[in-house]
A and B are shown apart, each in its own frame.
Chain A
Amino acid sequence: MKGYIVRNPKLAWREVDGEMVIISPEDSQVHELNETASLIWKHADGRSLEEIAERISTEYEVSLEAARADIGELVTTLEQKQLVFVATEVKG
């Protein structure tokens, strides 16, 4: 799994009962993430997607392939909503 993921730094967020609530300051849009998406969000500090897949695989006791597939879809959604950015390389 390629790429590095980072949260959109403009957003405001807080965890409520294990789920992330995110607000965009530009349009006041409120987003609520499910448990897995919240986990991705928490780790989206510039680390690699592969590392996050490994964590999810361990935490939920699922195969690495299944974790990768789950993450792939969720990351695409988060990216489309401009909640995260995915880069192919880490910028030095």
Chain B
Amino acid sequence: MAKTPVMDGLISRTVERHLPWSVHVDLTYRCNERCIHCYLDHEDHGEMKTDEIKNVLEQLAQSGTLFLTLSGGEIFLRDDLFELLEFARSLHFDISLKTNALLIDAERARKLRALSVRRIQISIYSAEPAVHDAITKVRGSLERTLTAIRFLQAEGLQVKIACPLMKQNLMAYRNVQALAAELGVPYVLDMTITPKMDGDMSLLQLRNPAQDLLPILQDPTLNPPSSSQDSAQEAPLTTGSATSSGIESQAYEDIPCSAGHNSCYISPYGEVFPCVQMPVATGNLRQQRFEEIWFKSPEMERVRAVRESQLPVCSKCSIRQYCERCPGLAQMEGGDLLGAYERACDLAELKAGLAGVQNPISALHAQKPNTKGLCSIPSLVATPAVQAGSN
């Protein structure tokens, strides 16, 4: 959602009042692609049934949720998807979908339009079929996805491309950028590769070393000066997680992000987490009511109590302004919701260097005597910082 004064004011109010106004619900972890970077197991361990999900949606509407993101896994593998969408519409949610679009044909696009779905986010890894299909492990998937995008556009639906970047497709961001321009749709590059849900860290091998991201951080087409950005328009690049709510605001002040403050995540099994990227279990909707979990869970309260100014390491960091630390990743990668973690520090040092900071070094690296700041390239021409991706 674009940043506007109205949205900023609303975000402040919802944060102050702890209104869960943006909720991401995964309807299934099953999928018809097998993306090499995916953190899910693709099994059905007892997904919520249609009536259970409807009940959850009713509770969310009563609690004040406006923004509803339905995702997965692949949502079109749920036979009841349209029934659920219809129900969500009757509750007046603003509906966004995340899908690989393989199962969207002209008829389904028409139905999505009739149900007033506002936005459909679709992952594309490259405009070259060989690269995209090697990541999804489904031959012909790029072509099918592009055909679906055209069906959606023919219905006047808003499509957004998400492009997760890994070693296999780092420089493909340029052809994805060109493809988005050709299609006339916004796009987001996502440099986040997360560990698997079961804690398996092997996926992190797919990540580009921070230094390899320099061409992206320096690319002026991705880092337009803020003065030239129309505030009513979506910024072209966010480097945060494509899985997050997409709502960004300066209203968060001393809190790390929206997780647990005005947004949360619900799994196909009814588990509630502060964010899809924050593995802090707060309760299960099969046993408790949403409001009980949202307002009373001690874990949710613990997440809500975190203040940036009190973080043990990060609050003392001289390059904090260049950092896009995600508390969820801090938990997953560093084992501490309040802690610093290598990846965030490496990227922050790179960005600070690009902005002209001499010998930038994060507070985490400064604590370790033998660790040098990753980036010492003050001679490079400074480019404006990439927009903060935390939301």
Contacts of B187 in A (CB 8 A): none
With A and B bound together, what is the CA distance between A17 and B94 in angstroms? 18
Contact B92 A14 (CB under 8 A): yes
Residues of chain A at interface, number, CB under 8 A: 17
Contact B158 A28 (CB under 8 A): yes
Q: How large is the interface on B (under 10, 10 to 19, 20 to 34, 35 or more residues)?
A: 20 to 34
B95 within 8 A of A: yes
Contacts of B2 in A (CB 8 A): 28
A50 within 8 A of B: no
B354 to chain A, nearest CB (A): 32
Within 8 A of B (CB), among A1-53: 9-17, 21, 23, 25-26, 28, 30-32
Q: Nearest CB to that of B114 among chain A residues? A: A10
B290 within 8 A of A: no
Contacts of A15 in B (CB 8 A): 64
Contact A12 B10 (CB under 8 A): no
Contacts of B10 in A (CB 8 A): 16, 21, 30, 32
With A and B bound together, what is the CA distance between A26 and B119 in angstroms? 9
With A and B bound together, what is the CA distance between A26 and B92 in angstroms? 15
B316 within 8 A of A: no
Interface majority SS (helix, strand, loop, mixed), chain A: strand
Contact B92 A12 (CB under 8 A): yes
Tell me which of A16, A26, A30, A32 contacts B21 (CB under 8 A).
A16
Tell me which of B7, B117, B156 contacts A30 (CB under 8 A).
B7
With A and B bound together, what is the CA distance between A13 and B90 in angstroms? 11
Within 8 A of A (CB), among B1-59: 1-2, 4, 6-7, 9-10, 13-14, 17, 19, 21
With A and B bound together, what is the CA distance between A13 and B68 in angstroms? 12
With A and B bound together, what is the CA distance between A31 and B94 in angstroms? 13
Contacts of A32 in B (CB 8 A): 6, 9-10
With A and B bound together, what is the CA distance between A10 and B119 in angstroms? 13
Contact B117 A25 (CB under 8 A): yes
B37 to chain A, nearest CB (A): 29
Of B2, B19, B93, B118, most buried by chain A (CB within 10 Å of CB) is B118
Contact B66 A26 (CB under 8 A): no
Within 8 A of A (CB), among B298-348: none
Contacts of A9 in B (CB 8 A): 116
B154 to chain A, nearest CB (A): 15
Contacts of B244 in A (CB 8 A): none
With A and B bound together, what is the CA distance between A10 and B112 in angstroms? 12
Contact A14 B21 (CB under 8 A): yes
B65 within 8 A of A: yes
B151 to chain A, nearest CB (A): 17
Contacts of A21 in B (CB 8 A): 10, 66
Contacts of B118 in A (CB 8 A): 12, 23, 25, 28
A26 to chain B, nearest CB (A): 7
Are A14 and B95 also in contact (CB < 8 A) when A21-B10, A28-B158 are?
no
B302 to chain A, nearest CB (A): 26
Are A30 and B6 also in contact (CB < 8 A) when A12-B95, A16-B19 are?
yes
Nearest 4 CB-CB pairings of A with B: A12-B94, A25-B118, A14-B66, A10-B116
- A9-B116, A16-B64 provided; 12 other pairs, C-beta below 8 A? A12-B116, A14-B92, A16-B19, A16-B21, A17-B13, A25-B94, A25-B95, A25-B116, A28-B118, A28-B158, A30-B6, A31-B6
By a beta-carbon cutoff of 8 Å, the part of chain B in contact with chain A is: 1-2, 4, 6-7, 9-10, 13-14, 17, 19, 21, 61, 64-66, 92-95, 116-119, 156, 158
By a beta-carbon cutoff of 8 Å, the part of chain A in contact with chain B is: 9-17, 21, 23, 25-26, 28, 30-32
Sample 12 A-B pairs with CB under 8 A, ordered by A number: A12-B92, A12-B93, A12-B94, A12-B116, A14-B21, A14-B66, A16-B14, A21-B66, A25-B118, A28-B118, A30-B6, A30-B7
